[in-house]
Amino acid sequence: MRASVAFRPPPTPSEIESRPLVDVKGLHKTFPIRAGILQRTVAEVRAVDGVDLQVRRGETLGLVGESGCGKTTVGRLLLRLIDSTAGTITFDGVDITKLKGAALKPFRKRMQIIFQDPYASLDPRSPIGDSIADGLRIHGVSGKEQQTRVAEIMDKVGLAPYQARRYPHEFSGGQRQRIGIARALVLKPDLIVCDEPVSALDVSIQAQVLNLLKELQAEMALTLVFIAHNMGVVEHISDRVAVMYLGRIVELSDRVTTYRDPRHPYTQALMSAIPLPDPEVRRKRIILRGDVPSPVNIPEGCRFNPRCWLYDRLGEPENCRTDDPRLREIAADHLVACHYAEQSRETLETGT
C-alpha cells in the first residue's frame, strides 16, 4: 500500500512577500593551493568561512570590508557563478545550491551582475547594443523584441538608443558603467549584485551612477546587493549593511544603526576613516595594527583579535584568544560577532 503524502498548499502572495528573496545559511568557499609535480593540495584558502545572510525583497544590502575579506566571492556564490564548498543558497523559496544546466537557467534570468570594471566586462569587438542583448539571445527572445527592449533600457539608463551601434572605446567610463547597468537590467531581473560598480569612477560620476541605481530600483522593484570597500558610498545607497572581515560577517544592521551605533571594533575602525564634511569637526581615527591575516592561516579564537584595539583596552581577555564569536543579536535586528559588543560603545566614546 502506497504511503500517503501530506498535501502542501502553494505559498500565498503575503507569504511570498514576507520571506527573503535570498536566504544563505552556512556558506563556505575554499580554494585549494596546489604544489609539486603532481599538483597536490597542500593548503586551502578559506575565502568564505560560514556566512549566514538574508536579502529582503526590494532592499539594498551593502556588503562592505577590506580587499580580500571575501565579499566579492559571496556575490559570485549568490549568483552561482562559482560553486560553494558547503552551505545552502535559497532563492525565492527554492534551494539553488546544487542546480545545474537547464534547471538553473530560469534563475540565471532573475539574477544579474554589474561588474567593477565596465570596460573589461564588454567585448571591444562588438557594438554595445549586441552586448546588452546577449542575455536576451541566450533566453530565446526574438530579434525584433531584442531591439525594442535594448532601446528601452538604454533610454532608462541615460543613453541614446542610436548609440547601440557604437563600440565600447567610444564611451567614457561613466557611460560604460551605464552600459553595464543596461545589460544587467535588460532581462528584468529580481536581484542584481553590484560588484564595486563605482570604484573606478570619478567622485562626481559616482554620485550620478548611485542616484541612477536608486531611481531604477524604485521604478523596477529591484533587490540589490551592493559590494564596496568605501563606507561613504555604502551609506549613500544601502538600507542595511553587512560588514565582512576575513571570510565572515562581523556586524549586520540597518544603515542608521551601522553609522550611528557601530558595535564591532572593526566596524568602528572603518567608520573612523570616513571624512567628515564639516572641517571644524574632527573624528578620532582608529588605526589598526598590522595587516589582515592570511585566509590560509586564520587566527584562533576571534579572527579580529590580532588587530583589535578593544582587546587591548580590555586587558587582553582570554576568551578573545580561545573562543570564536558568532553573530548574535544585541538589539532588534542588530547582529554583532564580538564577545564585548555591549562594552564597545562606551569604550569608543571615552576616547580612542
Q: Which residues have C-beta within 8 Å of that of residue 299, sequence separation ≥ 6?
A: 293, 305, 306
- Three cell numbers written together for 214: 536608486
The pTM is what?
0.89
Low-confidence residues in the chain, pLDDT < 70 = 1-17, 281, 345-352
Structural domains for the chain: 57-83+97-259 (3.40.50.300), 261-352 (no CATH)
Q: Which residues have C-beta within 8 Å of that of residue 339, sequence separation ≥ 6?
A: 302, 317, 319, 320, 323, 325
Contact 135, 187 (CB under 8 A): yes
Q: Which residues have C-beta within 8 Å of that of residue 182, sequence separation ≥ 6?
A: 132, 150, 153, 154, 156, 157, 159
Q: What is the model's pLDDT at position 91?
A: 97
Q: What is the model's pLDDT at position 199?
A: 85
Q: What's the distance, Cα to Cα, between the start and end of the chain in Å? A: 72
Q: What is the model's pLDDT at position 9?
A: 57
pLDDT tens digit sequence for 99-126: 999 999 999 999 999 998 878 888 899 9
- Three cell numbers written together for 82: 562559482
Number of alpha carbons in the 13 Å side-chain half-sphere of residue 159: 30
